[in-house]
Chain A
């Protein structure tokens, strides 16, 4: 790890000011990803600004009936918050599906959005990686790409976004509140993360000099018909091969509105408007779900080692939509998949 100057920020304005003064500075919240990357020499900040004392650790109801989650709310506190458990159980479930309790006690809401891919080549400074070093090439395209993207990838990068929380947040149509030298702004969750294109070094549309202050949930939480189904190489404490967050609104057996988002398959949490439209005003049955899955995956592309993920994703979508329709959401402790 290279040496760095350590500084503490006293409030949001101070944090933004300190960041603006040093383009190689990084904010430090939970540290569970940044410090790991600093140890690996992937991140080399010359200044680290500790934001843990900023007053951003509250979960509050909003005037519009939603929920405002401060950027420093720890993952465990978010998943266990009574309003999240009651009104947004798909979010609580997704958070509990990720990492370990020690890491959830440390990791922040804002940091979860900004975590980097776990592509092994991104972590290995001895290999080319366009995300780590623009223009150096992608080692994964013809390498060990079993866990990599099947949707929205480019010739420059086939990495996936590793978050579980973000899969639920994009399904819930959350908004990201940010502050910066140019003022505050709000970014729709679906617009927050980017596809790799020719600039895989940029994971998000957060501008240099901006800080996430909160994530805002709209009133609708799909607390009746929901699930978060995550498939991985072991039963716990592993990143998703494929995960699916579902929210349905049913009228009898008919779907009034259906949403589903996928994790582990792309450079960003993945939603598809056409696939969701195929659920609208249709019976909640296997044929409907299979049609929606096929639509979402129609442009999916596998590489040498990860083509199995296309079939896996299709089955996961159908299973997750079935779980949500039957009101049998996936348990994150009992691992049996119903």
Chain B
């Protein structure tokens, strides 16, 4: 299950190293070295007065309410990945051009890289980690497996969240319409035909 894998990632790096654990550990080490060379011990971001502009915000992610105080520059994407450790949502271009960061905001698909988290006081956000229910994959997640709708997998969380949003919109009927309404999600492996087939299956049109 995607949600279980993500939840256990932190523990996994203790027992046996993971790529994510090693990268995170290396980043911490380099910061510590920088400090020992005479840099001030201010926390990152505080050097230009970030704390003075911090904004309190409460929002719900995958059913869990979070109350945080954030630098207003924090994008919704960075909130998810860096503050809540929900790394299923990917950072691709960080400019709204690739769709890897797609999440559902109050049920509608959006690019989480192009929006500030502090704008979403009281909102409900669903990421790819929140789609499976009680250990059962969302029908579109299952359809992606059934149709082999990914290769490297980097765009997949965004593709799936976008597809869930598309199905909820009830606007796409034909394959042409699915393709057009999924055009905000780029797949550099070129899995597009299988992605369209997976969405058609999840729409009940297998």
A interface, CB within 8 angstroms of B: 1-6, 28, 31-32, 35-36, 39, 48, 50, 52, 76, 80, 99-103, 105-106, 236-237, 332-335
Contacts and interface: CB of A to CB of B under 8 A. Distances in A.
B175 to A, nearest CB: 9
B133 interface: no
B116 A35 contact: yes
3 nearest CB pairs, A to B: A100-B184, A6-B72, A236-B183
B75 A333 contact: no
B94 A39 contact: yes
B81 interface: no
Nearest to B47: A3
Contact of B183 (A28, A32, A35, A100): A100
Interface in B150-194: 162, 165-166, 169, 171, 174, 176-177, 179-185
Given A101-B166, A102-B102, A3 B176 contact: no
Contacts, number: 94
Nearest to A5: B53
Contacts of A6: 53, 55, 72, 116, 118
Given A100-B183, A102-B110, A3 B165 contact: no
B110 A105 contact: yes
A52 B109 contact: no
A286 to B, nearest CB: 29
Contacts of B182: 101
15 contacts: A3-B49, A6-B53, A28-B116, A31-B116, A32-B96, A32-B111, A35-B114, A36-B95, A50-B118, A80-B171, A101-B182, A102-B109, A102-B110, A105-B165, A236-B180
Contacts of A48: 72, 116
Interface string B119-150: 10000000000000000000000000000000
B109 A105 contact: yes
Most B Cβ at <10 Å: residue of A32, A48, A236, A333: A333
B115 interface: yes
Q: How many B residues are at the interface, by size bracket? A: 35 or more
A2 B99 CA distance: 25
A69 to B, nearest CB: 19
Contacts of A28: 116, 119
Contacts of A76: 108
A31 B118 CA distance: 12
A101 B108 CA distance: 10
Contacts of B169: 101
Contacts of B114: 31-32, 35-36, 103, 106
Contact of B165 (A4, A101, A334): A101
A80 B111 CA distance: 20
Contact of A100 (B94, B99, B105, B176): B99
B140 to A, nearest CB: 15
B31 interface: no
Contact of B119 (A5, A32, A52): A52
A4 B73 contact: yes
Contact of A334 (B73, B96, B118, B176): B176
Nearest to B172: A333
B180 A333 contact: yes
Given A99-B184, A102-B111, A333-B180, 8 more contacts: A3-B73, A28-B119, A35-B114, A52-B119, A102-B96, A102-B184, A332-B180, A333-B176
Contact of B73 (A1, A101, A105, A106): A1
Contact of A237 (B95, B105, B183): B183
